[in-house]
Amino acid sequence: MYDEPRTHNDLPREELMARAQAALDQFARQGTPAHVNFKFTCERCGTRCTLSDPNTLYEEGECFQCGHTTKIEKGGFALTANLASRHIKP
Q: What is the DSSP string of 28-73?
A: HHTT--EEEEEEEE-TTT--EEE-SSTT---SEEE-TTT--EEE-S
| Rounded least distance, CB 65 to Zn ion, Å | 5
Query: Which of 26, 56, 65, 80 touches Zn ion by CB under 5 A?
Result: 65
Site string for Zn ion, 1-40 (x = CB under 5 A): ----------------------------------------
Burial label for 35, CB within 10 Å (0-12, 13-18, 19+), is: middle
Q: Which is nearer to Zn ion, 20 or 63 (CB)?
A: 63
Which residue in the set 62, 68, 74, 81 belongs to the binding site for Zn ion (CB under 5 A)?
68
- Can you say how many angstroms the Cα of residue 81 is from the centroid of all Cα atoms in its chain? 14
State the residues that interact with Zn ion by CB under 5 A.
Answer: 42, 44-45, 47, 63, 65-66, 68
